[in-house]
Amino acid sequence: MVFRKPPDGGWGWVIVVVSFFTQFLCYGSPLAVGVLYLEWLDVFGEGKGKTAWVGSLANGIGLLASPVCSICVSSFGARPVAIFSGFMVAGGLMMSSFAPNIYFLYISYGIVVGLGCGLLYTATVTITCHYFDKHRGLALGLISTGSSVGLFIYAALQRELIDLYGLDGCLLIVGALSLNILACGSLMRPLESSDSPPPEKTCVDKVPEQYFVYHEKEKTVEENISILEKGYVDEKCANNAPDYKPDSILNKNVLSSINVNEKDMYKKKVVEQTNFCKQLAKRKWQLYLNYWEETMVLFKNKVFSALFVAILLFDIGGFPPSLLMEDVARSANINEDDYHMPLISIIGIMTAVGKLTLGILADFKWVNTLYLYVTTLLMTGVALFAIPFAKSYLTLAMLSGVLGFLTGNWSIFPYVTTKTVGIEKLTHAYGILMFFAGLGNSLGPPIVGWFYDWTQEYDTAFYFSGFCVLLGGFLLLLAALPCWNACTNQSSKLPPNTYSYKVASSA
């Protein structure tokens, strides 16, 4: 398949719109799962840690399975994957309305919906990158706000639907809304070249000549056998005399020689196929070895190693508020009449603002994106430490807005990764970091919930969360200090394919 040059417009803006609504529809419910979390606590009567697994799996499984999602989109294309994933998300949400216990929700909501969201995210990003080059940053920024707007709207929508139709009715309606992903996916037209050669001709031309020779000989053998057998039968029917024996002997000799030649050709073919399989296995094994060697080289970069720890600790400590903030307010005995807007909705809208603001700041040349990212981590840690002291809706709303804005640092994380390892290793490094981000998303809410089950209050849990985020921020700050570069230059040189932050940022 031959792709044209990205048009940076035209149908590309349709792709941006449908990708925005795709992320809006698929991520709206999983990101606003905190509203459903309260209902599941009351319906199933399980502990907070066990119940929190549902939302954490829905948000983390897509990142954990990001390599599989990338392979699916590369193999089948963005449009088929988007349509198939739309069925997954809608089916998972509808199945969850019939959940008899919390373990059923782990599969239906956590894994099925989460994996569908991961596939849709990869499909929307991939198809958008195909259509944009110069305006790629703007296009990706626009579609990424779809999930934040979805969080803002779905938090209020799901609460209203629960009041009107109950938990089961809410999940059925939200699942039906997700079927609109199929319409969005059908508009993700692949960017193909219109003047590509016909597939039939190219396929025939690329077949080796030996293939035709082999099958031509095989066909000749079959025809000779049928002709000889036919002649032998006719002659036997015509004469019952014994003078047909020389012909039959001749036929047997011919058949035996033909069978010998056919066996030799078959053995030769088997040897060729065996050698081909050995070479293929050797090549694949070499690719795996190269992958692990490149991975080890990445971890020799101090900033990358610190970044991997920071993103893991940030998601363990920074993700739980978006899932548990509603329950925090209920545990603080805040009157529901004081609610002017769901706390999760505040987090969602401020996350969109944070993504756009921090993304704009990262484009300024005088802004060091790594230090900007470290600043957001340290401020997030301080805000988490302040949650136990918030005893009113106003203070919790302010902290939700601050945490939502700082969570928008996801928009600058690719910048930080590029500056750390270089553009050549971005795909490899980003895949590793996203895997650990998904691991943090999956572990964070259950850990906070277990702290509550043990202590019957959230204070210790958020002290732990704040400590995790602050630890990751300080480690990343220490690794990025210029003194490390001086020490490294005096002691030893970096491997040829490894980039320190100072060198990469000056490029």
CA angle 142, 54, 324 (to 5 degrees): 70
Which listed CATH number (3.10.20.30, 1.20.1250.20, 1.10.510.10, 1.10.10.1150) goes with 301-483? 1.20.1250.20
pLDDT at 209: 43
Residues 107, 54: Cα–Cα separation, whole Å = 9
pLDDT at 504: 37
Residues 56, 46: Cα–Cα separation, whole Å = 16
Neighbours of 262 (CB within 10 A): 15
Indicate if the alpha-carbon torsion angle 412, 414, 419, 421 is positive or negative: positive
Homologous superfamily of 1-194 in CATH?
A: MFS general substrate transporter like domains (1.20.1250.20)
pLDDT at 348: 85
Please say whether the beta carbons of 443 and 59 come within 8 A. Answer: no
Distance linking the first and last C-alpha atoms of the chain: 33
* Residue 303 Ramachandran class (φ > 0 left, ψ -120 to 50 alpha, else beta): alpha
CA angle 416, 504, 432 (to 5 degrees): 45
pLDDT at 276: 67
pLDDT at 183: 94
How confident is the prediction along the chain (507 residues), in pLDDT tens digits per residue? 444 666 777 888 899 899 999 999 999 899 888 889 889 998 998 888 889 899 889 988 888 887 788 778 878 888 999 999 999 999 999 999 999 999 999 999 999 999 999 899 888 888 887 887 777 767 777 888 888 889 889 988 998 999 999 999 999 999 999 999 999 999 998 876 544 444 444 444 444 444 443 344 444 444 444 544 444 444 444 444 444 445 555 455 555 555 566 666 766 666 667 776 767 666 666 666 776 777 787 778 888 888 889 999 998 988 888 888 888 888 888 876 667 788 888 888 898 888 888 877 877 788 888 899 999 999 999 999 999 998 888 899 999 999 999 988 887 887 788 788 776 776 677 777 888 888 888 888 888 888 888 888 888 989 999 999 999 999 999 988 875 554 444 433 444 444 334 333 333
Residues 425, 498: Cα–Cα separation, whole Å = 9
pLDDT at 252: 53
Comparing C-alpha atoms, which of 368, 379, 340 is closest to residue 470? 379
Every domain of the chain with CATH number 1.20.1250.20 lies at 1-194, 301-483
